[in-house]
């Protein structure tokens, strides 16, 4: 049976913004993040595609200084928020791992 994680839409204080969450994946502790960007919601595993490290150096801080791209604080890789595609850095051309979700009654419901 799939596990569901709910994040209230009201948790997003501005556009863009992110909400980090924890989950178990194959018995291992993992994190992910949901983001509101340009009016749309997206959900990704919190893992750089260059090396298996979390993207955020500071807790729940995923955007570059212009709030246009997701940045890996360790390697400087830059990812498009809408697709997860790496557009610059050591993993150029690879993509973040998206997680399935739906918006239900003002909640983002993520399937793990």
Domain that holds residue 20: 4-111
CA distances to 9, 47, 104 from 94, in Å: 29, 12, 30
In sequence order, the β-bridge partners of residue 34 are: 19, 43
* Model confidence at 94: pLDDT above 50: yes
Average pLDDT value for residue range 23-41? 94
pLDDT tens by residue, 39-90: 999 999 999 998 889 999 889 999 999 999 999 999 899 999 999 999 999 9
Q: pTM value?
A: 0.94
The CATH number covering residue 103 comes to 2.102.10.10
Number of domains in the chain: 1
* Residue (of 100, 20, 92) closest to 54 by Cα position: 20
Three-state DSSP at 11 gives helix
């Amino acid at each position: 049976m799939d596990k569901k994680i709910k994040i209230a839409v009201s948790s997003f204080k501005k556009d863009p913004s992110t909400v980090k969450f924890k989950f178990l994946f194959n018995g291992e502790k993992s994190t992910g993040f949901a983001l509101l960007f340009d009016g749309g919601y997206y959900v990704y595993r919190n893992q750089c595609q260059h090396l298996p490290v979390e993207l955020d150096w500071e807790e729940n801080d995923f955007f570059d200084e212009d709030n246009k791209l997701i940045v890996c604080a360790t390697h400087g890789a830059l990812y498009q928020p809408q697709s997860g595609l790496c557009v610059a850095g050591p993993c150029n051309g690879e993509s973040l791992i998206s997680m399935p979700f739906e918006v239900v009654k003002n909640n983002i419901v993520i399937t793990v």
